[in-house]
Amino acid sequence: MIDYHVHTYLCDHASGTPGDYIEKALKARLFEIGFSDHAPLPEHLRNDITMEPEETEIYCSMLEGIKDKYPIAVKIGFEVDYPLHPTFDTQYFHDNRIDYMIGSCHFIDGWAFDHPLFVDEYNKRDINQVYRDYYNIVFDMVNSGLFDIIGHFDLVKKFGYRATVDLTDHILPIVKLAGKQATAIEINTSGLRKPVKEIYPSYDIIKLMFENNVPITLGSDAHAPEEVAYNFYDALLLIKRAGYKKIAGYSKRKQYSIIL
Ligand SMILES: [Zn+2]
Ligand SMILES: [Zn+2]
């Protein structure tokens, strides 16, 4: 199995060195581990969420320096906020050290909606509009064609605030577009550690993804070494139940298939 979403201490809200994460991946008998730490945000948004612009190169060379030292394939990626910010050099989209780019939406018009410090904002807004705004950004993100993988597809449910209307008309066009472009959507187990206690995306969305030929990857979103491969058994059951028989891997931004 593979884990394509793990962080490092550089983002200031995760612990452990890359070596610690790799050691845990070996214990969990993974055959690939992919780092996708938070690409730098501008200072006013950073709030201990991402690495600093000067650390981008440190991150890449740190991983380049150790990737061949372990009996496991080590992939180098980034988790990049969409829309893009000038603090992340777009050259990295064309850098042949990079295996994949995860696109994620953590902000709705400047509100860090998945940050525990700003949860109260959910009580001040129309929850259905929050979901619509979120999915509009995710649509644009997939449509940009910049990313190999879409991170935690329904992250807006993290704290358990649920839309009260059916959002299929917002979700289906994104899923169809991802299928057409072969943009993968990750199955992210970190939701199981959050108040929502559910994998991202929900089973209903995973079924829609399978019906529309959307490739998937698997990620724990580990922010500590012991979270590598977190609850992957549950994730496997879910994706197999939805019909998936393979997942996607990436090397230098080329997709390949891994049979489950
Ligand atoms: Zn994080
Ligand atoms: Zn994220």
Residues 105-114: tens digit of each pLDDT: 999 999 999 9
Who's near 38: CB < 8 A, 6+ residues apart? 7, 11, 49, 50, 51, 78, 79, 81
Who's near 71: CB < 8 A, 6+ residues apart? 26
> Could you tell me the distance, in angstroms and rounded to a whole number, from the CA of residue 79 to the centre of ligand 1?
9
> Is the model's pLDDT at 47 over the cut of 90?
no
Closest CA to 215 of 168, 147, 166: 147
Residue 103 DSSP symbol: E
> Could you tell me the distance, in angstroms and rounded to a whole number, from the CA of residue 91 to the centre of ligand 2?
21
Which CATH code for domain 2-259? 3.20.20.140
Least confident of 5-19, 126-140, 244-258: 5-19
> Could you tell me the distance, in angstroms and rounded to a whole number, from the CA of residue 67 to the centre of ligand 1?
22
Q: Give the pLDDT band (50/70/90) at residue 37.
A: very high
> Which ligand approaches the C-alpha of residue 200 most closely?
2
> Could you tell me the distance, in angstroms and rounded to a whole number, from the CA of residue 231 to the centre of ligand 1?
18
Asked if 201 and 165 count as a contact pair (C-beta separation under 8 A), the reply is no
Residues 139-177: tens digit of each pLDDT: 999 999 999 999 999 999 999 999 999 999 999 999 999
pTM of the model: 0.97
For residue 116, the tally of other CB atoms under 10 A from its CB is: 10
Q: What is the structure's pLDDT at 174?
A: 98
> Could you tell me the distance, in angstroms and rounded to a whole number, from the CA of residue 186 to the centre of ligand 2?
11
